[in-house]
Amino acid sequence: MPPGKMVAIDFNSDDTLEEACNYRESHVFPDLVGKGAISGNVVLKDADARQDSVEKHLRDPEVVYITGVAHGASDSFPGNSDDLPVFATTTNGYDPKVIKGRIVHLLSCNTGDLLGRALADPRGGGASAFFGYNDMFTWPTNVDKKYVDIFFNCDAQIDIALAAGKTAGEAYALAIQTFNKEHDMLVAEGTETSLYIASMLAKNRDMLCGPGVDNVYGKALARLVPPG
């Protein structure tokens, strides 16, 4: 099976989101394309990330992977926009045809609650797997950048594993392992700052949703396979 394409939907409309988007652009996307399961990528930002524009790109049958960054809500991505959300649980919230059989990963608060379940539901979006967070994904401010990068790196293990041909279950396990490893290193560092950051990291780890085993977020054996 030939490799497929990735569509990234990144809203960098404020300083917080810009930090996450810049990390992905510099440290994640370059390592995904051409590494097995992904042959090319389209990155849609802000004005280009409207529902109609996103769906246009997702109608390409070669797309296997949908990923994105935004302020989310339990039922929509993004969750704080005056425009139509790209994905939402409401009527006409998305076209299931552009979701079915694909893997979705959103670095976005709360979307693992209702939206992720809807996207992965065979009677809804029909995504083969969904990854996201069921509460507020946060990272520290006013600290050395190396600490901030830890948070994005843990989440990026999902992208990296899937692009390398790993299953959704393996990608979930790798992300959890990385969260645990970084948490333990921060605790071992033993400073007031590192211990505080370790507690934040643990909360994000515990909010991560995905099919470590078959569940409401899809199939653990799902891989990036072109639909059809």
Could you give the 3-state DSSP secondary structure of residue 1?
Answer: coil
The CATH code of the domain that includes 134 is 3.40.50
- The answer to whether residue 153 is domain-embedded is yes
Amino acid at 132: G
- The answer to whether residue 220 is domain-embedded is no
State how far the Cα of 209 lies from the Cα of 133, in Å rounded to an integer: 6
Over residues 140-165, mean pLDDT: 94
- The answer to whether residue 223 is domain-embedded is no
pLDDT greater than 90 at residue 84: no
- The answer to whether residue 151 is domain-embedded is yes
Q: What does the pLDDT read at residue 36?
A: 76
Dump pLDDT digits (tens) for 172-194.
999 999 999 999 999 999 999 99
- The answer to whether residue 67 is domain-embedded is yes
- The answer to whether residue 157 is domain-embedded is yes
Identify which of 31-40, 137-146, 187-196 has the greatest average pLDDT: 187-196
pTM: 0.95
Residue 11: what are its φ and ψ, rounded to 5°?
Answer: -95, 110
Range of the domain at 48: 4-209
Domain count, the chain: 1
Q: Are strands 4-10 and 38-45 parallel, antiparallel or unpaired?
A: parallel
State how far the Cα of 53 lies from the Cα of 84, in Å rounded to an integer: 11
State how far the Cα of 211 lies from the Cα of 119, in Å rounded to an integer: 13
Average pLDDT, the chain: 92
Lowest mean pLDDT among 86-90, 127-131, 174-178, 186-190: 86-90
User: First vs last Cα of the chain: how many Å apart?
Assistant: 12
Q: What tokens appear for 142 in the block?
A: 């006013």
Over residues 146-164, mean pLDDT: 96
State how far the Cα of 128 lies from the Cα of 209, in Å rounded to an integer: 14
- The answer to whether residue 161 is domain-embedded is yes
- The answer to whether residue 187 is domain-embedded is yes
Q: What does the pLDDT read at residue 34?
A: 75
